[in-house]
Chain A
Amino acid sequence: MEPFRTHTAVAAALPQANVDTDQIMPKQFLRGVDRAGLSAGFLFDLRFEAPGRPRAGFVLNRAPWTEAGILVTGPNFGCGSSREHAVWGMRELGVRCVIGTSFGGIFADNCARNGVPAIVLPAEEVQRLMTLAADPARCRMTVDLDAQTVTSHGDGRVLAFAFDALRRQMLLAGLDAVGLTLQHAEEIRAFERRHFAAQPWLT
């Protein structure tokens, strides 16, 4: 996984509540057996009238947000289906961080597994960042995962955020979670012996 330490980029505002992963990555893009090429599907019906015909009014189709690398989202962004395709497509499009009051739980986990921190902030702070993100002159932000701060260049404020300690370490170092876990292989085997001895009906 590509490490995430700090990321400075244009932030785009997507204020709608409950944007589900069916909207983030519609079904016609779920036919593959690999992870590549999914940026074309990201928020497809919001971004495009038809394949190759962008909706001129949609934020990600307008400068400077065509270069957006951070999304400030409405509540419960990424709810619904577990499809990790949603995150693969978002990441491929260049988004490295999402900020909101809450996220779909599986979506947030998927983000963490793809080098994309999902940062939860209080509603009034998300609203402030949303307002800045909607202003082309003030929409640049820096997310520093090491320091756990979001700097909004538009108003010069530095805001601290909380984050799972382990998830933070893994993102900062770009760790391979499977490899890390396999260092405990002997403990897993010992657990299995106890678990199945106590509950023989599981085998």
Chain B
Amino acid sequence: MTPRTLYRRIVDAHVVRRLDGPATAAPRDPAGARDPAAARDPAPAAGGPVDAAQPGGACADGAAMPGDQVLLYVDRQVLNEYTSPQAFAALHAAARPVWRPAASVAVVDHVNPTTPERTARTMVLADADRARQVTTLGANCARHGIELYDMLDARQGIEHVVASEQGLVLPGMVIAAGDSHTTTHGAMGALGFGIGTSEIEHLLATQTLIYRVMRTMRVDVSGRLGPGVTAKDLVLALIRRIGADGAGGHVIEFTGEAISALGVEGRLTLCNMSVEAAARGAIVAPDDTLFDYLCGRPKVPTGARWEAAVRAWRGLRSDDGATFDATVSLDAAALAPMVTWGTSPDQGFAIDARVPDPAAQPDPARRRGMARALEYMGLVPGQSLDGLPISHAFIGSCTNGRIDDLRDAARVLRGRRVAPGVRALVVPGSSTVRAQAEAEGLAQVFIDGGFEWRQAGCSMCVAMNDDHLVAGDRCASSTNRNFEGRQGAGARTHLMSPAMVAAAAVRGAITDVRRLLPD
């Protein structure tokens, strides 16, 4: 057999049937056609992946190749209240059953309130439209026998946080969901990716997707992250390096010393935000760190099944000599805490850098984008963000709402208080995380420090419930998207790690967390 990447290994194990070959070039060559092949496989943009290897040779052993169309079996899907209703409606209109209800789990996470009290009374949504989304999800789950973690369920939380902490995602699985951050699950040695609502319908009806096999990108991270530098900083550095479309059409595999040294929650952060570089998946090979994390979780097999599973999972790795379509190398030891200055996740830099000058950008489209971003963000070229006053601090999201994230932030906050004039919120990624943080005393650190200690949900990351900012607000945020209007129309978002958010909240301005770390 030709050496295979972990991605191909997982895909090959889920191919129900081959559907067709790769993209067809144009059938003829009319005037004006330059190079149809170039359209199929556009060269990476400037600053894109380096060391691009030649695509693998002819497929002698029947393995799936990039561009192949396959009917891909999906082991698990997670449904939410805002991208699933139209999928169920289409299924019902066609009078089709759900193929395998046990493969689905549903969670309310995008629109639910995060008020500090969570009771049957506070979980009545005043907004009739959002309330209908929640009741529609409940009705659809009841009709088809799908397990639902509703707003008052102790397991409720952001779908990606819930899925890993409940053990719903196991190594080698394929998981898809109607949320772009489904790449998160690559940290479990699984292939996870986001899909639209039409594909949710396809999945509910057939448990498969018509899937185009992606190219592969190896991101090798040598060295160790320094004090105050986290997985969030690493992924922001990667996105800055390769660009917001740098991994387009690729599935990333993270390798190297820094990745082995990361805990599972750090890996979840890394895989989660890989989608902000346009990756269609991001995987870390399973290892003992992962098996320790999984063992004993509610949906994880036990006893002889666990033993057999771990034996199989140890084979889930890229073969020696496997070829990647692109390779990117980073040195973890050279990284500093990162912060974004713009309105795309690739517009970030180390905290000690200065806002770049659009005039120095040769590409006109990028230059215009930078200028527009600076205008929106109220920043000028040459400015330092260190010391830039904030109005809000937000800790939460599927990127950074897990227990390790709260521990990191609490370590900075302990014995300190949020600066006057700053509104600071912690929204745990799940109700389970919230309960654990309360048991560990972290909740009290946040409350004593002046943070609002809230209930779990997507909250101010996507601002689809009542948690949102207004025009001119400036937020230090542990979330994943600094898009215009993401946290509220006209609001300004600076992405950073949870520890950096805690530091900014204390100082009332963006700052280098390393100044506040205990020795």
User: B-contacting residues of A (Cβ < 8 Å)?
Assistant: 15-18, 20, 22-23, 26-27, 30-35, 45, 74-76, 79-84, 87, 101-102, 104-106, 109-110, 113-114, 119-125, 147-149, 157-168, 177-179, 181-182, 184-185, 187-188, 191-192, 195, 199-202
A113 lies within 8 A of B198 (CB):
yes
Max chain A Cβ within 10 angstroms of own Cβ: one of B32, B96, B344: B32
Flag B452-464 by CB within 8 Å of A: 1 or 0 each: 0000000000111
Rounded to whole angstroms, the CA-CA distance of A53 and B57 in the bound complex is 56
Are B73 and A164 neighbours in the complex by a CB distance under 8 Å?
no
Segment touching A, from B13-21, B350-358, B414-422, B436-444 = B13-21
Which residue of the partner chain, among B25, B73, B111, contacts A162 with CB atoms under 8 Å?
Answer: B25
Residues on the A chain within 8 Å of B212, using CB:
164
Contact B73 A80 (CB under 8 A): no
A191–B73 CB distance below 8 A: yes
Instruction: List residues of B (8-45) whose CB comes within 8 Å of A's CBs.
Output: 13-14, 16-17, 19-40, 42, 45
Cβ contacts A to B, 28 pairs, < 8 Å: A17-B344, A17-B369, A18-B244, A30-B82, A31-B129, A32-B129, A45-B489, A79-B244, A82-B179, A82-B195, A83-B83, A105-B280, A106-B180, A124-B34, A147-B27, A158-B31, A159-B33, A160-B33, A161-B26, A164-B22, A165-B24, A166-B19, A167-B69, A181-B206, A184-B71, A188-B208, A191-B16, A199-B309
Residue pair B484, A45 in contact (C-beta under 8 Å): yes
Interface of A is mostly: mixed
B39 touches A122 (CB 8 A): yes
- Contact across chains for A178 and B344 when beta carbons are under 8 A apart: no
Q: Please tell me if B199 contacts chain A, counting CB pairs below 8 Å.
A: yes
B500 on interface, CB distance cutoff 8 Å: no
Cβ-based interface call for B478 (8 A) = no
Cβ–Cβ contact B206 & A161, under 8 A: no
Shortest distance from the beta carbon of B98 to any chain A beta carbon, whole Å? 12
Chain B neighbourhood of A168, CB < 8 A? 24
**Contacts A45-B484, A74-B365, A160-B28: A122 and B198 contacting too (C-beta < 8 A)?**
no
> Would you call A158 and B30 a contact (CB within 8 A)?
yes
Query: By the criterion CB–CB under 8 Å, are A104 and B170 in contact?
Result: no
Determine whether B286 belongs to the interface, using a CB cutoff of 8 Å to chain A: no
Q: How many residues of B contact A (CB 8 A)?
A: 96
Binary A-proximity of B39-63 (CB < 8 A = 1, otherwise 0): 1101001000000000000000000
- Within 8 Å by CB of A34, from B89, B278, B344, lies B89
Evaluate contact between B39 and A120: CB separation under 8 angstroms: yes
In the bound assembly, the distance between CA atoms of A32 and B111 in angstroms comes to 12
Give the residues from 353 to 370 in chain B that come closer than 8 angstroms, CB to CB, to chain A: 365-366, 368-369
Q: Is the CB of A159 within 8 A of B206?
A: no
Name which residue of chain B comes closest to A20, CB basis.
B483
- Considering the complex, give the chain B residue whose CB is closest to the CB of A199: B312
**A26 and B89: CB pair below 8 A?**
no
Chain A: minimal CB distance from B346 (Å): 8
Given contacts A74-B365, A75-B45, is CB(A82)–CB(B39) below 8 Å? no
Residue from B130, B206, B308, B372 within 8 A of A31 (CB atoms)? B130
In the complex, B207 has a CB within 8 A of chain A: yes
| CA gap between A166 and B133 in the complex, in Å | 34
Q: Are A102 and B32 in contact (CB under 8 A)?
A: no
Residues of A within 8 A of B120 (CB): none
B486: min CB distance to chain A, Å? 5
Alpha-carbon distance between A45 and B127 when the two chains are bound, in angstroms: 22
Bound complex: CA of A123 vs CA of B366, how far in Å?
A: 13
Extra contacts besides A76-B244, A178-B205, A195-B13 (19): CB < 8 Å: A17-B344, A17-B366, A22-B484, A26-B485, A26-B489, A34-B89, A76-B248, A80-B481, A80-B483, A102-B42, A106-B196, A120-B39, A149-B30, A158-B32, A159-B30, A160-B26, A165-B24, A178-B96, A202-B170
In the complex, A147 Cα to B25 Cα: how many Å?
A: 11
Tell whether A192 pairs with B309 under 8 Å between CB atoms, given A105-B249, A148-B26, A157-B32: no
Convert B182-217 into 0s and 1s, putting 1 for each residue whose CB lies closer than 8 angstroms to a CB of A.
000000000000111111011001111010100000
B249–A84 touching, CB < 8 Å: no
Residues of B within 8 A of A200 (CB): 305, 308
B460 to chain A, nearest CB (A): 11
Residue of chain A at shortest CB distance from B39: A162
A73: min CB distance to chain B, Å: 11
Could you tell me if B89 and A22 are in contact, using CB atoms closer than 8 angstroms? Answer: no
Q: Nearest CB to that of A46 among chain B residues?
A: B484
Across-interface contacts of B99 in A (CB, < 8 A): 188
Taking CB atoms, residues of chain B closer than 8 Å to A109 are 195-196, 199
Q: Would A164 and B365 count as touching, CB distance under 8 A? A: no
Cα–Cα distance between A18 and B366 once the two chains are bound (Å): 10
Q: Is B2 an interface residue (CB 8 A)?
A: no
Q: Across the interface, which residues of B come within 8 angstroms of A22, CB to CB?
A: 481, 483-486
Q: In chain A, what residue has the closest Cβ to B136? A: A33
Of the listed residues A16, A32, A104, A201, the one surrounded by the most CB atoms of chain B closer than 10 A to its CB is A201
Q: B207–A188 contact, CB under 8 A?
A: yes
Contact A202 B34 (CB under 8 A): no
Q: B85 at interface (Cβ–Cβ under 8 A)?
A: yes
Q: Is the CB of B86 within 8 A of A34?
A: yes
Q: Looking across the interface, which residue of chain A has its beta carbon closest to that of B280? A: A105
Closest 10 pairs (CB-CB, A-B):
A160-B26, A31-B129, A113-B198, A84-B196, A33-B85, A110-B196, A201-B301, A157-B32, A160-B33, A162-B40
